[in-house]
Each structure stands twice: as structure tokens, then as C-alpha cells.
Chains A and B, each alone.
Chain A
Amino acid sequence: MAIFSKDEARAILEKVMKFSKADACEANLNGSNGGNIRYARNTVSTAGENSDVTLVVQSNFGKKSGTATVNEFDDASLEKVVRRSEELAQLAPENPEFMGPLEQQTYGESKTYAEATAKITPEYRAQAAANSINPAAAKDVTAAGFLEDSYGFASMMNTKGLFAYNRSTNVNFTVTMRTNDGLGSGWATRDYNDVSKLDTAEASKIAIEKAVKSSTAKAIEPGKYTVILEPAAASDLLQNMLFSMGARQADEGRSFLAKKGGGTKLGEKIVDERVNIYTDPFNTEVPASPWTQDGQARKKMDILKNGVVSNMFYDRYWAEKQGVAPVPFPGNAIMEGGTASLEDMIKDTKKGILVTRFWYIRTVDPQTLLYTGLTRDGTFYIENGKIAYPVKNFRFNESPVIMLNNLETLGKQVRTDGNLIPYMKIRDFTFSSLSDAV
């Protein structure tokens, strides 16, 4: 059994703390049950289940720390893993950046668990795949997809009296539909904490429609275009930007948030004033764990407010060195949107390109956050408020900072990859070449 209740986890962790002879000790006990099914060429290719539980013990003497791991929980094994972590700590070089364990923290109430997901069966997965494959096979389309689900718990305790526990569930589904002549391709993604919200037939229908409609795409000249980015497309670029908002890199002068002449862009407006991005672990649509792996409490917090950088992320070491409070890396991101649906946004567009998703995004220049990548699985030309025809895929070279300065309108939010991201209309998005890929 890989899932321990709060009381079971506490009992094991308390024993670990009692065995400790180090200056301090901290232990993380995590477990999960997971399952997946993969299909391609309209048939299931692999399916599996996995169950795992691990105790990680970190002991420290001064600024020397050692970590050991075990997956057996009898008293003898627990004592052995504590001793082993202490031996490793004694042998370790001193780490001047080591921060000792935290005092007890106060956490908000978690919203990351949904019963239905915890009870997923192999039969459910097989049916979910069948609901995706059958409509494809009926339309001369080939389905390839992947569904994975997990039910897990995380807990931690240290010798300073901190105890934290959280249960979470997740399900992720992606599907690619390709027309059998190889000329059209569509894609859809869904992710939820609660699997009862997932309908693989609904997502597959959208991917099939995109595949069929994207067939026989026209080549148009690369250049700067107004684009409507579906949330899955915008999400990857936004997440890359958020990952680059560490305070230390900015303070060291090697980040897009470092300023000419020294200092950082904290408190400065860097994008359109309608851009508001915040984190909220207690949002019911995209809940995140109320605490980080090192036990810091997560809270609702602005990241970009009216286009201004409100927060950069400080780990505990850098925060202490800079004399500020630590700002843990967020567990989710929520970008405020508008009320317009995708149909409304298309209707309001004279000329533009609708992008389903981007693919193979890589950093080109960390100084300007320039990224390159390609459109994939459904790219359409919009003319006079209507989708006019499918277009060949493009390679882009664009920075999310420039993109968010070129904001035209924001539409409704959609959950994608654990974040809430709106549809966005952006002007002057830079497509630099054409791709023959379907």
C-alpha cells in the first residue's frame, strides 16, 4: 500500500526523528499509486500500473548534510536510514548555502485531492482509450494518445517540530489525431485533479475536427502576424518566463530581469498593463500543494500586477543573504483573462492566425528570453472574422516579454498543464520560416 494516512505518516516520521543524533534532521515520506495507457495506430500499445513509497532522510551537522533513502518502514530499517544519513553528513563537504530545517509553519487547507481519480481502474483507462480510438477509426483518422493518472501523498517532519501532510490526485490526457492520408493533424490536451471532469471522447472530437480541417494546408509567407494563441500554446512560453524569474540570477546580472547599470526590474512595468499573473494554491480549478518540498507555506501572491514585476522568487539562502523574506517558487500560475470565447475572438479578427500549440520550444537568448519553436497540429488563417483555410506550420522566434507587450485582447481562461491561462490575441508575432511538417 503506497498511500499512508496523515496519522500513519506522522507515526513513521516521529520514529525517524527519535532516532536522530545529528544537529538536526528532516524527513520526507512520499508515496503514489499511478497508472497509464498508451495507444497509437488506433490500438493500445502499452499499459501499466506503478506503486511506490519512499522515505528520504536528511541529517546535518552544522553546514554538512547527508541524505539517505529507504522503502521499508520497520523500526530497524528506520534507524538504519537515519544512521546512514548521519554517516554521509559527517563525510560531506561543508555547504555554505545549507539552510537548517524550518520551524512549524501554518498551511492553508489543501484542495488537491479528488476521490474519483484515486479510484481509477485499468478498465476505466481502457474505456477512455476506446472512447478516443473508436471515433477516429470511424472517420479515416488514426489516433495516438496517452492517459496517465496518479494518487499520491507527501509528508514531512523535522526536529524543529514541523509536520506537513498533503494528498493529491492528477490525471493528464493528450491525443494526436492524424488523417490517414498524412495531410492533417489535430491535438488536444486535458488535465485535472478530478477525473470526473475528463471526457476523452470530447477532447478526441476536437482533435479529429482539427485533423480533418487542417488537411491540405496552404503555404503563406512567414513574417509578423496577429495571432490567437490557444491557452496550451501560450502556456509553454509563459511557463518558461516564470521559470526565469529567480531573484538570484537577476541580482547576479544574468537574467532578463537584470537591469542595465545594476539592480533588477522588480517593481518595474515590463509588459502591457492588462497582464496580471498570480499564484493561488487554493484555487479550486488548479489547486497546488499548500507547502513546498522544504516545508515553506505557499500563499496567494502576485507575480505580475498591471504589467509590473511584483515578485521574483527567493530561495531561503538567497533571501537571508539579501535580507528579504523567502518567496517560494509557485505551485501554479493564473493569468487573468476576459469574457470573450474563442469564437468571439475569431469574429473580431480581420486577419490573423489561430495557433493550437507550439512544439520543441528552446531558449535562443536568455538575455531577452527569446525562444524558438514551431506551430503544430492545427494552424489556421483567419480572414474577416472567420477561419478561412489551414496554413502550413511556421517556426517562430519570439520572446514572451515582447509578446505580452503586443497584447491585443484576452479571452476566457482554460486549465492547461496545471495553470489557468486565457486565450490571447497578440499582434506582430514573429514567424521566421515555414515547415513542411504535418
Chain B
Amino acid sequence: MRRRDFVQIAGLGMAGAALSIPMIGNAVPVQRFLESPLDVAQKKQLADVALNAAKANGATYADVRIGRYLNQYVFTRETRVQNIVNTESFGVGIRVIANGTWGFASTNEVNPAGIQKATMQAVSIAKANSKFQTDPVKLAPVQSYGEVSWKSPIEKSAFEVPVSEKVDLLLAANAAAMDAGASFVNSNLFMVNEQKYFASTEGSYIDQDVHRIWPTFNVNAVNRAEGKFKSRSAMSAPMGMGWEYMLPKESDKLEGPGGMKLYKNSYDIVEDAKTAALQAKEMLDAKSVDPGKYTMVLEPNHLGLTIHESVGHPLELDRVLGYEANYAGTSFATLDKWKSGDFNYGSKEVNIFADKLQPGSLGAVGYDDEGVKTKRWDLIKDGILVNYEAIRDQVHILGQNESHGCCYAQTWQDVQFQRMPNVSLAPGKEKYSSADMIKDVEKGIYIAGRGSYSIDQQRYNFQFGGTVFYEIKNGEIVGMLNDVAYQSNTQEFWNSCVKICDENDYRMFGSFFDGKGQPSQVSAVSHGSSTTRFDGVNVINTGRSI
């Protein structure tokens, strides 16, 4: 396996535990981000070298990805900058089919000789592996798109914003938290730009420019006398956006309980940091939850991860088929359940769709990493399981003849494979706000933000925590709670869904570093939803003393 570099930042995350962030590429000066090493015509010439060499050596299919991956990460705590990481990774990945078998090779020698050599290597790997092949690759047809391009619909590239402006914003958020009584605060900003050129023997030449951004922080409140500490992390979402996400608009703010604000397509990090400090202090003396059955009111920044774990992953077709059995696991959502046509994954309220087009989402691209134009499709319709997430060499297993367009590789060095698209819960049709929902609940808990999350290898049993918990009694928020986690079974949980707020409450959450495969690759994916009500959910008390 390739040796992977990690940025080790002490003091980040829950309780200041060390966190490893995958660092892809080599360190470069920031000016380099604004340069462009190759124009489209040069990329096409180089791509043709690979495609021609592959065909000349017996490949029946070939694709080539010339990729430039830029990352900028900024890490701060309280009044100081801990680290600024600027990286660039540039190279070519070539994938071929020979003797009905996949082969892949990559090189950072982005010139005709380097590409020719890597192509030959990919073909020879395919031929060598074909000795073990019992089931030749079957590719679903794909249209030839000719020379096309796509760009994330951003207003301003974050890479064009001076580092000093980013540092100032994070330090302003830190100051707001400390002024409001935080004991400690760490804040971070992650920015990614994927410049991907794809070409294949199917006749497509696709140039794409993909942007993502994630501001986040963690605030701690510590009571030394009592020996207690609490954390409150950011209510931001990682987004497929540019710097405009960091410029807050009042129209993107929603009112949450306890004076907290929730954010849609722009984020006010300074305001949220202040609220976080106040909430973290309040948590120190909040009531410990009484375990039992509750109505759960889950807001999108929390529910996104529940969707990710209990719907997004189990519907990945490679998991269903057993390709991930030794790592992430398999899936309870087996083909026989889907074929039955009446497997009630959830209640009638539940409509969950995959969408690689959603503006502002992490997974939005024009074309996937095997040249398939992206689209939206239903996964769960009126509660019934209707489809999976699949790519060109898988859809024939479902009797379908069109790829879903969710193939992805984390860099040019990695082979592309099936990854989770954006998976979202459709909002309710009738006008209904989160305040309306709280009013209708007799005994419940409102959860905002992510906490601890764990689910079994077939995605039945899960346990989720959250960032902040509010107790609801007779339609009113009565105060904060501590030590809350809910446990359920995926099918039981989604069948307990009784009401979903309208589209005005709809917003996205996402995962910037979702891991899968051996060797492991990360991918970024969003999950949209509106605040949703689930009845009769089992809540446990996680308080302990040591």
C-alpha cells in the first residue's frame, strides 16, 4: 500500500484528542494554486497517448484521468495558528479492460513516455489478473459526449482568498467563543479543488473543476472544581461551494431552540462560535436524560449522518454483493428484498433519493470518474426500496442498462470504484416548520449536530449521539439534556418516521472524509433533509463514573 501522509493536529476534535487528516499530495507555496500546468488541448493530446497505447496492446476499453488535486487546510486554537497545509498532487491514472479483466496503473510522469509506460503496466496487470477471472467485466453502455466541461457553480474560489483573511476569520471565531466563556477552542478550514480531465475509448473528453469547503470548530467548557468538561462543535456543513459559503446571509439563517441559529447555504462562523461557548457552558449543568422511549425531533445537521449510515451505505451495490465483506461489511438490504418490490424500508412518509446534481452538495459533478453524465434517481419511494447505487460494471446485475454515475477515485493514483452519491430525504409537502413540529410533541428530544455514531456491518443496529440535546415536554422546549444516545434498527427506525418539515427547513450536511475500500480511499458526500420526527425511539443514558 502507498505510504499515506497524515497531518497530526493535537487538540482537535472531541476533548482535544489527536485527529489524523489524510494529506494528499506534496507541499507547495500558495501561489501555485493559481497556476495551471496544462491547457485542455495538451490534456487531450496526453489522454490520446494512453487510449491509443491501450488499444494497440489489446485492451478492449481504456479510460485515463489526468488529475490535479489541490488542498489547503488551516488549523488554529484560541489566539494562534497551529498549521497551514498547502498541497498539490498531479498525475495520471489509466484503467483498462483486457481479456475481460480490469487493470490499473498510475504515474506522476505527466508526459507521453510516462503515460505510455503506465498504460502498458495497466494492460499487463489486466492480462495477469485475467487468469483468476471467472466472470468477465460487463460494462453498461454510455453515451459519447465529445469534448465537454463542467465546473462547480461557485461564486468565488476559496483558493483565491488570501490565507491571512482565512486566518483572521478563524481567529475572530475563536475570540468570540473565548469572550463568551469558552475554556478552549480549535477551529479549522478545509478547502479542496479537484481539476480532473477524463477521457475514454467511448469517445468522451471531459474537463471538470470541482470545489469543496468545510469550516469547523470545537469549543470546550471545563469546570475544574467538578472535574467536568463538555464539547460543542460547529453547526456548519461541508459544502461543494467556494468562499461565498463563509459570507453569511441573514436569509440563510433559521431559528433553533435555545437561541441557536442553524445555517443553509452560507455560514456565520463567528456567531456560531459564540453560541457554541454559551451552549457548552450550559451543558456542564444540564440534566442527565432519563432512559426510555421518546419522540425524536432530528434536525438536518444531525439527521444527515443517520441517513449516511443507515441508507447511503447499505444501498451501495458492491457491499450488497460482498466485495466489501472484509472491511466495511455487507448489507441487510439484499437483492431478494429489492426484487420483492414491497420491502418497506420506511414509512410512507419516507422518500429518499440519490442525486449527483444537487447544487452546493459535496458529491455534485457533471460526470463521474468513468465518464457517465450524472443524474438523480429514487432509492426509497413512499417507503419502498426501489433501487441501489451502482456503476457501469454493476448495473447489469440489477437488470438495468444505464450506470447511476457514482464512480469515484480520491486521486489520480487510486483506481475508481463505486462510491456513495449524495443521498437525501425529500422534504414534506405541506407547510410545516420545526417550531410547528416541536409544538406537536408531548415527550421528546430535539437533537442538533453530530455526535457519536456507530452501526453494525450489515447496517441493522445503530447508536447515535448528537451535539446538543433539548428536552421537549408538552410542545415546549424545557431545557438542555446530557448523556443522550438513541439506539434502533434501521428498518424499525425509518418506519417510525411520522412527519417531515417542509422545504423551507431543508438543508444539507455532509461527510468530507468518508472511507471505503482496501487500500482505503476517502470521498465527500452530502445528505439533505428537513427536520424530521420519529416516534417511540429507544434512548439510553450514557453517563458513567470512573
Interface centre among A256, A393, A402, A435 (most CB of B within 10 A): A435
A84 at interface (Cβ–Cβ under 8 A)? yes
Residues of B within 8 A of A45 (CB): 323
Chain B residue with Cβ nearest A432? B540
Q: Return B88 CB to nearest CB of chain A, in Å.
A: 10
* Residues A360 and B455 in contact, CB atoms below 8 Å apart: yes
Q: Does A140 contact B (CB under 8 A)?
A: no
CB under 8 Å from chain A, chain B span 432-470: 452-461, 463, 465
B173, CB-defined interface residue at 8 Å: no
Shortest CB distance B320–A (Å): 12
Residues of the A chain whose Cβ atoms lie less than 8 Å from the Cβ of B323 = 40-41, 45, 144
* A148-B81 contact, Cβ under 8 Å, with A36-B519, A364-B485, A437-B458: no
What 0/1 readout, one digit per residue, does chain B (512-546) give for beta carbons within 8 Å of chain A?
A: 00000011000000000000000000101011111
Asked if B42 is an interface residue, CB under 8 A from chain A, the answer is no
Contacts of B225 in A (CB 8 A): 260-262
CA of A228 to CA of B526, assembled, Å: 40
Task: Give A33's nearest chain B residue, CB to CB.
Answer: B3
| A249/B16 contact (C-beta < 8 A), A176-B326, A364-B465, A401-B546 known | yes
Please tell me which one of the listed residues A47, A54, A402 contacts residue B129 in the complex, with CB atoms under 8 A apart.
A47
Chain A interface bracket (under 10, 10 to 19, 20 to 34, 35 or more) = 35 or more
Interface residue from A40, A69, A434 paired with B326 (Cβ < 8 Å): A40
Q: How far, in whole Å, are A70 and B457 apart by their CA atoms in the complex?
A: 40
Q: Which residues of B have CB within 8 Å of A176?
A: 325-326
Cα distance A13–B307 when bound, in Å? 50
Tell me whether B10 and A360 are in contact (CB under 8 A).
no
Chain A residue numbers with a CB within 8 Å of B108 are: 71
**B429 located at the interface, meaning its Cβ lies under 8 Å from any Cβ of chain A in the complex:** no
Is A77 interfacial (CB-CB < 8 Å)?
no
A374 touches B220 (CB 8 A): no
- Label chain A's interface by main secondary structure: strand
Q: Check: A399 CB closer than 8 A to any chain B CB.
A: yes
Q: Report if A84-B29 is in contact (Cβ < 8 Å); known contacts: A40-B326, A44-B129, A252-B184.
A: yes
CA A152 to CA B546, docked complex, whole Å: 42
B372 at the interface (CB under 8 A from A): no
Given A40-B323, A40-B325, A437-B332: A258 touches B229 (CB 8 Å cut-off): yes
Say whether A34 contacts B1, CB under 8 Å.
Answer: yes
Question: Does B80 sit at the interface, judged by CB under 8 A?
Answer: yes
Whether the Cβ atoms of A244 and B2 lie closer than 8 Å is no
Bound CA–CA A81/B323 (angstroms): 42
Q: Bound state CA distance, A1 and B545, in angstroms?
A: 54
Q: Does B38 contact A (CB under 8 A)?
A: no
* Contact (Cβ within 8 A) B222 A43: no
For residue A226, CB closer than 8 A to chain B, the reply is: no
A142 within 8 A of B: yes
B16 pairs with A97, CB closer than 8 A: no
Among the listed A34, A248, A402, A436, which residue makes an inter-chain contact with B3, where contact means beta carbons less than 8 Å apart? Answer: A34
In the complex the two chains form, what is the Cα distance from A95 to B11 in whole Å?
15
Cβ of A87 < 8 Å from any Cβ of B?
A: yes
- A253 an interface residue at 8 Å Cβ cutoff? yes
Most buried by A among B129, B456, B543: B456
Contact present for A144 and B326 (CB under 8 Å): yes
**Which A391-438 residues sit within 8 Å CB-CB of chain B?**
393, 395, 397, 399, 401-402, 432-438
A208-223: contact bitstring with B at CB < 8 Å (1 yes, 0 no)?
0000000000000000
Min distance, Cβ B4 to any Cβ of chain A, angstroms: 10
| A30 interface residue per 8 A CB criterion | yes
Chain A 244-286, CB within 8 Å of chain B: the 1/0 string?
A: 1010110011111011111000000010000000000000000
CB distance from B333 to the nearest CB of A (A): 12
- Nearest chain B CB to A423's CB is how many angstroms away? 23
In-complex Cβ contact of A252 among B222, B487, B545 (8 A): B222
In the complex where A95-B80, A95-B81, A255-B15 touch, is A366 in contact with B231 (Cβ < 8 A)?
yes
Interface residues of B, dominant DSSP: loop
Interface string of A232-243 (1 = CB under 8 A from B): 000000000001
* A359 in the interface (beta carbon within 8 A): yes
Size range of the chain B interface in the assembly: 35 or more
1/0 per residue, CB under 8 A from B, across A344-357: the answer is: 00000000000000
In the complex the two chains form, is A146's CB within 8 Å of B327's CB? yes
Q: How far is the CA of A161 from the CA of B387 in the complex (A)?
A: 63
**Given the known A-B contacts A45-B323, A97-B82, A175-B326, are A437 and B465 also in contact in the complex, defined by CB atoms under 8 Å?**
no
Residues of B within 8 A of A253 (CB): 183, 222, 224, 227, 229
- A41 with B487, Cβ < 8 A, contacts A34-B3, A363-B14, A374-B454 known: no
Contact of B104 among A48, A87, A88, A150 (CB under 8 A): A48
Docked complex Cα distance between A371 and B183 (Å) = 24
Check B456 against A359 for contact (C-beta < 8 Å). yes
CB pair B546 A56 closer than 8 Å? no
From B26, B84, B322, B519, contact of A148 by CB (8 A): B519
Bound-state Cα–Cα, A258 to B229, Å: 10
For A50, what are the chain B residues with a Cβ–Cβ distance below 8 Å? Answer: 1-2
Q: Is B340 an interface residue (CB 8 A)?
A: no
Question: Within 8 Å of chain A (Cβ to Cβ): is B60?
Answer: no
Of the candidates B10, B102, B485, the one having the most CB atoms from chain A within 10 angstroms of its own CB is B10
- Cross-chain contact B326 with A365 (CB below 8 angstroms): no
Q: Please tell me if the beta carbons of A243 and B542 are within 8 angstroms of each other in the complex.
A: no
B546 near A254 with CB under 8 A, answer no
Give complex CA distance A436, B332 in Å: 9
From B14, which residue of chain A is reached at the shortest CB distance?
A366
For B460, list chain A residues within 8 Å (CB).
Answer: 435-437
Residues on A with C-beta less than 8 A from B228 are 367
How far, in angstroms, from A262 to B327 measured CA to CA in the complex? 42
* Cβ-based interface call for A21 (8 A): no
Residues of B within 8 A of A148 (CB): 1, 518-519
Q: How far is the CA of A174 from the CA of B324 in the complex (A)?
A: 12
Q: Tell me if A393 and B456 are in contact (CB < 8 A).
A: yes
CA distance A178 to B323 in the complex (A): 12
* Interface status of A14 (Cβ within 8 A of chain B): no
Cα–Cα distance between A293 and B322 once the two chains are bound (Å): 39
- B56 near A: Cβ within 8 Å? no
Other-chain residue from A248, A261, A369 in contact with B227 (beta carbon distance below 8 A)? A261
Q: Which of B184, B322, B487 contacts A395 (CB 8 A)?
A: B487
Scoring B residues 215 to 227 as 1 if CB is less than 8 Å from chain A, else 0, what string do you get?
0000010101111
Beyond A260-B225, A368-B545, whether A43 also contacts B455 by CB under 8 A is no
Q: Contact: A363 with B452, CB < 8 Å? A: yes
A262 to B330, CA, bound (A): 47
B27 CB–A CB distance under 8 Å: yes
Q: Say yes or no: A262 contacts B326, CB within 8 Å.
A: no
- When distances are taken between beta carbons in the complex, the residues of chain A under 8 Å from B184 are 252, 254
Measured between beta carbons, the chain B residues less than 8 angstroms from A71 are: 26, 108
CA distance A50 to B29 in the complex (A): 27
B326 and A373 contacting across the interface, CB-CB below 8 Å: no
Query: A402 contacts B326, CB within 8 Å?
Result: no
Which residues on the B side are within 8 Å of A68 (C-beta)? 27-29
Question: Which of these, A93, A254, A362, A401, contacts B15 with CB under 8 Å?
Answer: A254
User: A298 within 8 Å of B by Cβ?
Assistant: no
Can you give 18 contacting A-B residue pairs, CB < 8 Å?
A: A38-B326, A68-B28, A88-B27, A88-B29, A126-B132, A145-B326, A150-B3, A243-B17, A244-B17, A248-B10, A248-B11, A253-B224, A254-B222, A363-B17, A364-B485, A368-B546, A395-B461, A436-B489
User: With contacts A96-B80, A254-B220 known, what are 14 further pairs, Cβ within 8 A?
Assistant: A38-B326, A40-B324, A46-B102, A46-B104, A71-B108, A95-B81, A175-B326, A246-B10, A258-B227, A260-B227, A360-B455, A395-B456, A436-B489, A437-B460
Q: Which residues of A contact B (CB under 8 A)?
A: 30, 32, 34, 36, 38, 40-41, 43-48, 50, 52, 54, 56, 67-71, 84, 87-88, 91-93, 95-97, 122, 126, 142, 144-146, 148, 150, 152, 174-176, 178, 243-244, 246, 248-249, 252-256, 258-262, 270, 315, 359-370, 372-374, 376, 393, 395, 397, 399, 401-402, 432-438
Across chains A and B, which 7 residue pairs bring their CB atoms closest together, nearest first? A260-B227, A366-B15, A435-B461, A144-B325, A437-B456, A437-B458, A144-B326
